[in-house]
Structure 1
Amino acid sequence: MREIDGGICAVPGVRACGIKRGRYGVAMIACSGYAAGVFTRNRVRAAPIEVTIDHLRRSGGRTEGIIANSGSANAYTGVRGIRDAERMAGIMAGILGCSPEMISVASTGVIGRYLDLDLISSLAKEVVPSLRTSPDASSDAARAIMTTDTRVKEIAVEHEGFHMGGICKGAGMIEPDMATMLAFIYTDADVGPGLYPFLKEAVDVSFNMLTVDGDTSTNDTVLLTSTRMVECDPDSFKEAMEYVCVSLARMIARDGEGATKAMEVEVTGAASSEDARRAAKSIARSNLVKAALYGEDPNWGRIVCAAGRSGAEFDPTKISLSISSSIGSVLLVDRGIIVDGVLEEAKKVMSSDEIFIHIDLGAGAGSARSFGCDLSHEYVNINAKYTT
């Protein structure tokens, strides 16, 4: 696996661009291919998701492009929201000269506010002349869909002769079953018509193991598009999909709203893979663990507590727990026995901006990892005044 420059534009056949005006932006991605999507499980599902699902069904998975906006989520907007999302697709379809059902739509921003279609149309017209294949075009598209994000999130790889690139946005309202996140992934690999199983499996070990604040968004969308230009071994494709999705999930964790530290939790020795997932998500989700992370406080009892309430089956007397970072690694609990005299060393380890937590439950061979961040004062500041 070799990382390369260019984001989604590292994939031949992908043109992109984006523009941002204050809190509002429009990104456009043009590429002929076949697409599959994974979407939020929130019962309140945004209009662009309903429209995109319908379009993918009507087109048989064929796609010509994506149009996405930031500033308004177009969620909980009723019949008008559906109509507005269809009009967004029509804007892109008119530009590319294709039927609207060949266009996917995505939105992110404030829930319960209608789209400003005049503004979106105006921004789209500005974007069109800049649709291009250069690496900076991918960055422009990623920047256009940022809300509380503080950095562009993109990656591209070359693997076994094919390319895969992705961009995403996401910083808050992040919880397993995806996040307030949009992710657009492109590849020239041909693994046949069955893209969805590969996407779903990659999402399950990446975005669905990601949490910032425990809230599941109305707009979560991950779209995978393949131009089918390069024959590909399914195992190689699976490997690249997981690599790209996990890399993007880590970027979101590092950029969590107000975050000062990223956290990765690895659970091993679980009775089953599902138990490992439960424990890993419970630890990464715990506000007490997250607050301790922010304060660089090696209060490891909170980690054990979070594992214990996860529903995973294990014997507490068999747990081993360690934390590590670029500074070093510290064993805190060894098969149920507290390790004395290591808290000062643990505090030094926690001064790094990326912390790894490893807990062995001693109950079997199940394993999983989750991704998260600390909980800072700034998270409250951002979300206390988000719409004002």
Structure 2
Amino acid sequence: MEFQIGDSGVTAPKGFLAAGGSAGIKKGNTRDLAMICSNVPCAAAGTFTTNLVKAAPVKWDQHIVYECPKAQAVVINSGIANACTGEEGLENCRKTAEAAAEVLHVPEDAVLVASTGVIGQQLPVDKIEAGVAKLAPFLSGTREAAATAAKAIMTTDTKPKEVSVSFPVGGKTVTIGGMCKGSGMIHPNMCTMLSFLTTDAAISKQLLQKALSTVIADTYNMISVDGDTSTNDTVLLLANGLAENPEITEEGEDYQNFVRALFEINRVLAKKIAGDGEGATALFEVRMIHVDTVENAKILAKSVITSNLTKAAIFGHDANWGRILCAMGYSGVTFDPEKVDLYFESAAGKIQIIRDGVAVDYSEEEATRILSEKEVTAIADVKTGDAEATAWGCDLTYDYVKINADYRS
């Protein structure tokens, strides 16, 4: 099955509207509030942070996704995370949902909420309530509306992150659209990342959740910027059925095609997050091949992308391969270092750096040229089996420290 990949966002599927604007949460007249709404009630699925410290909106959304039959709208604010805010934080989630429910004419328990920004501050809920009322008339299914919403959820992101994919299901064209944000506090097991996915597919709530949970493991859970797992990580998926395909209720061919498309859209979004890491100049991809198990391949790949020494070497365009082998060695996975082959690859070419654990006679100048591209891949052949895995990260730059040293002030 072929996918048609596009750069549209959450309004690409039929029946979804979006808007973005300023509620006055951030300093200046900066976009800081976004809304997504479906014309009809949706099946909803979600995955959330594994951090024991969970923000109020995570708790609110978990209740709706797991216990309520339908959802229809999402309200997202940037600037304040509404994390570590106690009962007042949860009450502010309810007030936000209540405000949206009133202007959108949907049930309060059909409104999901999400927040991103500084931890520990209470939301200016009066501003959010007013912002919701102000944004509602601008909800639209246009490409521009999706783009505006994607910009409104950004914090330290340097660019909005959107994608769409269309594919056939039962003689109908089904579309999935998505937008996400994330740049720092990004680490496997979801990251400070928020992702919002919409689809016009007709699919049961049970299979929608299963599909989302399935693809998370090899997309968002395989990226890292700085090793910190956020309090607010949330991925939400709404399906309104307006494509009018035969409802997907069994794990047959239609379901498998849906999963493949959902994987592709989340893989693209995950890579956009990793490549836009705070201060980053390069997307750093790590592929582990010929490993004994998929789980071990994942552990090895994650160990390399989270190595600060390796990330610094990528920033310096330095083929310091010892750091990669070192990170593999402390990962906890058993392998023979004297059998590992390592390659660097980018748009500028591919070069082998080590063979059987020992450096080959390679050109440092050529290696530097390959490592100077905006997307760089390290490929490690472990020679213990047939499994493989890919993880994504970024280089570690001076600007990462600058950004995070004065983030609150």
TM bracket, shorter-chain basis: over 0.9
Distance 1:124 1:104 in 2: 13
Displacement of 1:58 in angstroms is: 3.6
Kept in 2, the 8 Å contact 1:25–1:123? The answer is: no
Matched with 1:107 is 115
Displacement of 1:45 in angstroms is: 0.1
Matched with 2:53 is 44
Task: Give matches, 1:122-271, under 5 Å.
Answer: 122-160=130-168, 161-193=173-205, 194-228=207-241, 229-231=244-246, 233-271=254-292
Distance 1:204 1:92 in 2: 32
Distance 1:184 1:291 in 2: 31
Matched with 1:55 is 64
Letter in 1 for 2:291: A
Displacement of 1:5 in angstroms is: 4.4
Matched with 2:73 is 65
Displacement of 1:313 in angstroms is: 1.7
Distance 2:388 2:344 in 1: 17
Count of matched residue positions in the alignment of Structure 1 and Structure 2: 387
Q: Are 1:304 and 2:311 an aligned pair?
A: no
Kept in 1, the 8 Å contact 2:351–2:362? The answer is: no
Paired residue secondary structure (1:64): strand
Displacement of 1:343 in angstroms is: 2.2
Paired residue secondary structure (1:375): coil
Paired residue secondary structure (1:260): coil
Displacement of 1:133 in angstroms is: 0.2
Paired residue secondary structure (1:8): coil
Letter in 2 for 1:4: G
**Percentage of pairs with the same residue:** 41
Distance 2:288 2:347 in 1: 20
Matched with 1:319 is 340
Displacement of 1:342 in angstroms is: 2.5
Deviations 1:188-223 (A, max 9, x none): 123323211110111110100010000000000000
Matched with 2:128 is 120
Kept in 2, the 8 Å contact 1:56–1:102? The answer is: no
Distance 1:259 1:349 in 2: 17
Matched with 2:390 is 369
Match of 1:78 among 86, 104, 116: 86
Paired residue secondary structure (1:263): strand
Paired residue secondary structure (2:200): strand
Distance 1:278 1:57 in 2: 30
Letter in 2 for 1:122: A
Matched with 2:369 is 348
Distance 2:49 2:55 in 1: 9
Kept in 2, the 8 Å contact 1:150–1:255? The answer is: yes
Q: Are 1:6 and 2:8 an aligned pair?
A: yes
Moved over 4 A (4+): 21-24
Paired residue secondary structure (2:238): strand
What's the TM-score, normalizing by structure 2? Answer: 0.92
Deviations 1:280-314 (A, max 9, x none): 00000000010000011110110111111111121
Name stretches of at least 5 consecutive residues in structure 2 with no aligned partner.
Answer: 249-253
Distance 1:4 1:211 in 2: 25
Letter in 2 for 1:103: V
Q: What is the root-mean-square deviation in Å for CA atoms of aligned residues?
A: 1.2
Displacement of 1:92 in angstroms is: 1.0
Name stretches of at least 5 consecutive residues in structure 1 with no aligned partner.
Answer: none
What's the TM-score, normalizing by structure 1? Answer: 0.97
Letter in 2 for 1:7: G
Kept in 1, the 8 Å contact 2:99–2:133? The answer is: no
